[in-house]
Amino acid sequence: MRRMKIYEHYPLKALNTFGIEAQARYFCSLHTLGGLKSVMLWRREHPDLPVLFLGGGSNLLFVEDFPGIVVQVRLAERKVIAEDPHYVYVRAGAGENWHEFVRWTIEQGYAGLENLSLIPGTVGAAPMQNIGAYGVELKDHFYELDALDWRTAELRKFSLDDCAFAYRDSHFKSVEPGRWLIGAVTFRLPKQPVWKTDYAGVSEHLVGKTLDARTISDAIVAIRQSKLPDPKVIGNAGSFFKNPLVAIEKFTAIKAKFPNCPAWPQEEQIKLSAGWLIDQCGWKGKRVGDAGTYDKHALVLVNHGQASGAEIWQLAQAIIASVQEKFAVTLEAEPNVIRTTF
Ligand SMILES: Cc1cc2nc3c(=O)[nH]c(=O)nc-3n(C[C@H](O)[C@H](O)[C@H](O)COP(=O)(O)OP(=O)(O)OC[C@H]3O[C@@H](n4cnc5c(N)ncnc54)[C@H](O)[C@@H]3O)c2cc1C
């Protein structure tokens, strides 16, 4: 077996979409399952070092250097593995680019993932926070995934129930972070698609068009490009805060003071717009050094050039404090914040 190259003090700036200067104490790139055996052998010699699995780095904020090993997951695979009268089952390697995979399913004639077009990152990271956009979440078309236990090298399949998907959350994100390396994900795509075009702004883009997966995907791409900053131009990790869920009594109190507060009922709770709350506190387009909020969308924190992860994180703390003071609502960061001190 060929030993895999493990680099030391590896620069991560080009590998995170915030463009934050940070280093990994150790780093390797995993292209094959054979390589995985080699990393597991290396791991036995360094059992106490923390691990960070890395996809496209579009949902991470490095506040500090990473003291352990960063394993960049680049496993490639795209395959239709089965079908029944109602569904096709499509499997993708964790290292596949998410948007390219979505477009590939559409080219094969399959629908279901079109509303999730242009979300940056990889297939392997997508289940981590149950990616979602324009009324669809990954869990809506998920079938199962293959993962490897970083501690024991056990390979395991996770069903939909095992993954405990919730709003921007999963078993892998909040129950056992850092334990499971996701190697491949299988999706179950319907042969009779049901289009979801009622989300704000989507139907306007589709007026007069015949609906199919490609047309909807193109509309989603156009909408996203008009609203969100391109990380190649300005560093960011998309929405920096989750939309908070509050109890009905709390919402009633907020609504009494702020009648325009947007809100969506969510089972027994109410979901608020984090972007609106932040905007009301005057943060939209604000800049502190090179850390700031995007001028078209207050929910997106941006790196105007040389901001450090600590500066972005300080800005996030200031935003959390002002939303807390004005609305008594606690915002929670959506990206994975990499730091050893809390
Ligand atoms: C402009 C922009 C727009 C965005 N829009 C959306 C959106 O609409 N909806 C949405 O949900 N998200 C959105 N995001 C966030 C991000 O794109 C998604 O969370 C994406 O799934 C992250 O993929 P990644 O490969 O970049 O993950 P990374 O940032 O590399 O990693 C994210 C987390 O997943 C873990 N991880 C990565 N790969 C694996 C693996 N193979 N096995 C186990 N753990 C792994 C990492 O350790 C980390 O904890 C946006 C980001 C940007 C920059």
Tens digits of residue pLDDT in 269-299 = 999 999 999 999 999 999 999 999 999 999 9
Give me the CATH code for the 78-227 domain, please.
3.30.465.10
Q: What is the pLDDT of residue 33?
A: 78
Architecture of domain 235-338: Alpha-Beta Complex (3.90)
Query: CATH 3.30.43.10 occupies which residues in the chain?
Result: 7-73
Q: What is the pLDDT of residue 4?
A: 81
Report whether residue 119 contacts ligand 1, using a CB cutoff of 6 Å: yes
Q: How far is the centre of ligand 1, averaged over its atoms, from the C-alpha of 309 (Å)? A: 17
Q: What is the pLDDT of residue 152?
A: 87
Mutation to probe ligand 1, out of 51, 59, 97 (largest number of atoms < 8 A from CB): 59
Model confidence, pTM: 0.96
Catalytic residues, by residue number, are 168, 239, 334
CA 177 to chain centroid: 14
Report whether residue 63 contacts ligand 1, using a CB cutoff of 6 Å: no
Closest CA to 88 of 193, 163, 159, 194: 193
Q: What is the pLDDT of residue 43?
A: 86
Q: What is the pLDDT of residue 47?
A: 87
3-state secondary structure of 166: strand
Statement: 7-73 belongs to CATH 3.40.50.720: no
Q: How far is the centre of ligand 1, averaged over its atoms, from the C-alpha of 208 (Å)? A: 34
Query: CATH 3.90.78.10 occupies which residues in the chain?
Result: 235-338
Residues of the chain with pLDDT under 70: 1-3, 341-342
Model pLDDT for residues 84-132, shown as the tens digit of each residue:
999 999 999 999 999 999 999 999 999 999 999 999 999 999 999 999 9
Half-sphere exposure of 83 (CA within 13 A, CB side): 10
Distance CA 321, CA 304 (A): 22
Q: How far is CA 132 from CA 86, 113, 223, 238, in A?
A: 23, 10, 15, 12
